[in-house]
Amino acid sequence: MSEFTIAQQRKVVTEIPGPKSQALQAQRLKAVGAGVGTALGIFVEKANGAIIIDADGNHIIDLGSGIGVTTIGHTNAGVINAVREQVGELTHTLFTLTPYQEYVEVCQILNAHMPGNFAKKSALFNSGSEAVENAVKIARKFTGRGEIAVFDHGYHGRTNLTMAMNFKAMPYASGFGPFAPGVTHVPMSYPLRDPAGLTGEQAAQRSITYLEKRIGAENLAAIVIEPIQGEGGFIVPAPGFLTALSNWAHENGIVVVADEVQAGIARTGQWFASEFEPTFEPDLMTIAKGIGGGMPISAVTGRAEIMDASHPGGIGGTFGGNPVSAAAAIAVLRQIEAGGVLEEAKRIEGILYGRLEAMQAKYPQIAQVRGRGAMVAIELVEPGTLNPNPAAVNAIVAHCHKNGVLILNAGTYNNVIRFLPSLAITNELLNDALDVVEAGLASL
Ligand code: PLZ
């Protein structure tokens, strides 16, 4: 998939963060508002493939990809060339003033690859949150209904509406309200923590009871669900859960929105994570992160008649589908179409499952290995219980950071470690990173 311009090797030459990063961090703390946090205070200068280089010259293995953004690899050659070319030709018009072809081409590709045997249309935006906001707007306009439902442990963004849609108050919403009305939270299928043996259909029935009793099907415009939850800790619902929900929604004229912001665009080994349950039929999808190869762009793609529900002028935004970001997205999407990219996600899944399940057999803190493709996580507990073990996660993350592996936590209980490497990561580099993870586990 990639020719590398930086050797794909970990190299730690200072403490992490090193002195130059520490000096920059001191400046940053004076200049940048405190609400904008830091997971690891290294200042990044360059990156390629799955390696980032910091101001002190440390070569760090990136297992986070900017939270699932540089799926195709940092500074992918195809993306760089497309951006360079586009930036010299046209950087902005505002599509709703005077259109340009690149925007249309992104929509055409997304329409062609969204699952579902129906005509599709798309619209482009800047961020995942903005895509979710617009999917809700469009679903409300289409149905003439106001209420929406979301799922426990879910995450959808940082705008006022999407803050209301997130499960966790801390850190996303606490003190930032009041929030948009019309949002109801219902139970998710969480196989590790649900009663043993609860099937996907039974878990869906539990959610449907809430939807019917708390909201009333006739009042619901949309249900919005991540087919694999991202920030919630890569929770994969029990088989049948998504299908039973979408069947019920369709019987009741409710729009099904799959939030594919984190799981979509080849990350899981399919174009979209929704495809793992072929009978699950989302009407709209929200897409962002990996689509731009590092450039900001997002989309809502879905049923043409729903996408056409808004009056002209109802949907837009100054920068949505910016020409340079659109050119980057075309470069990413054409590479996936050309073949081989989905296979890389499956290769990585094989290594992650092989290594992490071997660790699970040795270390009783690992309650579960779950996820798909290059989106795999481990949930850590106090041995012999299901009690969340965030202390173990913090210790392993600290160990990894110290040793040049950038790794992310997740989960409602902060007790999940998630692996979101670029699909360009080599087997050697991934195994090296997993050796560091294992040493962290061993030192608990
Ligand atoms: N929907 C499923 O994962 C973004 C958040 C990073 P934006 N997740 C990473 C942070 O701390 O802000 C996300 C997601 C799902 C929507 C979003 C929101 O996407 O591009 O961050 O707005």
In this prediction, residue 1 carries a pLDDT of 61
pLDDT in tens, 191-215: 999 999 999 999 999 999 999 999 9
Closest atom of ligand 1 to 289 CA is: 20
DSSP of 57-83, one letter per residue?
Answer: --EEEESSHHHHT-TT-BT-HHHHHHH
How far, in Å, from the CA of 228 to the mean position of ligand 1?
A: 13
Distance 197 CA to ligand 1 centre (A): 32
Give residue ranges with CB within 6 A of ligand 1.
67, 127-129, 132, 155-158, 226, 230-231, 259, 261-262, 288
Mutate to test the pocket of ligand 1, among 188, 262, 325 (most ligand atoms within 8 A of CB): 262
Mean pLDDT value of segment 50-72? 98
Q: List beta partners, residue 121.
A: 302
Strands 59-62 and 405-406: parallel
Kindly report, residue by residue over 79-95, the tens digit of the pLDDT.
999 999 999 999 999 99
Q: Ligand 1 center to residue 384 CA distance, Å?
A: 33
The residues spanned by each domain of the chain are 80-338
pTM: 0.98
Ligand 1 nearest-atom number relative to CA 226? 2
Predicted confidence (pLDDT) at residue 22 exceeds the cutoff of 90:
yes
Averaged over 231-242, what is the pLDDT?
A: 98
The mean pLDDT value for 237-254 works out to 98
What is the rounded average pLDDT for all residues in the chain? 98
Q: Quick check: 401 pLDDT over 90?
A: yes
Query: Pick from 372, 405, 394: which is nearest to 63 by CA?
Result: 405
Q: How high is the pLDDT of residue 295? A: 98
Q: What are phi and psi of 251, to 5 degrees?
A: -65, -20
Task: Please give the share of the chain, as a percent, with pLDDT higher than 70.
Answer: 100
Lookup: tokens for 329: 């997205």
Q: Mean pLDDT, to the nearest integer, of 104-133?
A: 98
Quote the tokens at residue 305: 């008649």
Phi-psi category of 274—alpha, beta or left, where left has phi over 0 and alpha has psi -120 to 50?
A: alpha
- Find the 7 Cα to ligand 1 centroid distance in Å: 30
Edge-to-edge strand list for the sheet holding 408-410: 366-372, 375-380, 416-419, 408-410
Establish whether the linkage from the previous residue to 171 is cis, with ω within 30° of 0. yes
Identify which of 36, 133, 168, 289 to mutate to test ligand 1's pocket (most ligand atoms within 8 A of the CB).
Answer: 289
Q: For the chain, give the number of residues.
A: 444
The per-residue pLDDT for 367 is: 98
Residue nearest to atom 5 of ligand 1 (CA): 157
CA distance 103 to 329: 9
Atom of ligand 1 nearest to the CA of 231: 3
Instruction: Look at the alpha carbons of 327, 331, 337, 342 in this order and tell me if their dihedral is positive or negative.
Output: negative
Cα of 362 vs centre of ligand 1, distance in Å, is 34
Tally of CB atoms within 10 A around 88: 8
3 has pLDDT over 90: no
Q: Whose CA is nearest to atom 6 of ligand 1?
A: 67
User: Helices H, strands E: what count in the chain?
Assistant: 13, 15
Output the CA 420–ligand 1 centroid distance in Å: 14
Query: Measured in angstroms, how far is the CA atom of residue 363 from the centroid of ligand 1?
Result: 31
Long-range residue pairs from 216-220, CB within 8 A, at least 24 positions apart, any chain: 216/147, 217/248, 217/252, 217/253, 217/254, 218/145, 218/252, 219/145, 219/146, 219/147, 220/143, 220/145, 220/147, 220/148, 220/149, 220/249, 220/252, 220/254
Cα(154) to centroid of ligand 1, in Å?
A: 11
DSSP percent split of the chain into helix, strand, coil, nearest 5? 40, 15, 45
State residue 2's pLDDT score: 62
Q: Given a cut of 80, is residue 40 above it in pLDDT?
A: yes
Q: Which of 130, 156, 172 to mutate to test the pocket of ligand 1 (most atoms within 8 A of CB)?
A: 156
21 in Cβ contact with 45 (< 8 Å): no
User: Percent of the chain scored above 90 by pLDDT?
Assistant: 99
The rounded Å distance from CA 350 to ligand 1 centre is 26
Mean pLDDT of 307-331: 98
Question: Residue 164 in 3-state DSSP?
Answer: helix
Closest C-alpha to ligand 1, atom 9: 67
Mutate to test the pocket of ligand 1, among 234, 261, 375 (most ligand atoms within 8 A of CB): 261
Choose among 281, 284, 282, 279: nearest CA to 306.
284
Strands 220-225 and 147-151 turn out to be parallel
Residue with tokens 């270390």: 363
- Give the nearest ligand 1 atom to 263 CA: 2
Query: What is the 157 CA–ligand 1 centroid distance (Å)?
Result: 5
Classify domain 80-338 at the CATH topology level.
Answer: Aspartate Aminotransferase; domain 2 (3.40.640)
CA of residue 43 to ligand 1 center, whole Å: 22
User: Which one of 129, 130, 165 would you pick to mutate in the ligand 1 pocket, going by the greatest count of ligand atoms within 8 A of its CB?
Assistant: 129
Tell me the pLDDT tens digit for each residue of 347-366.
Answer: 999 999 999 999 999 999 99
CA–centroid distance, 128 to ligand 1, in Å, is 6
Interval 403-420 mean pLDDT: 98
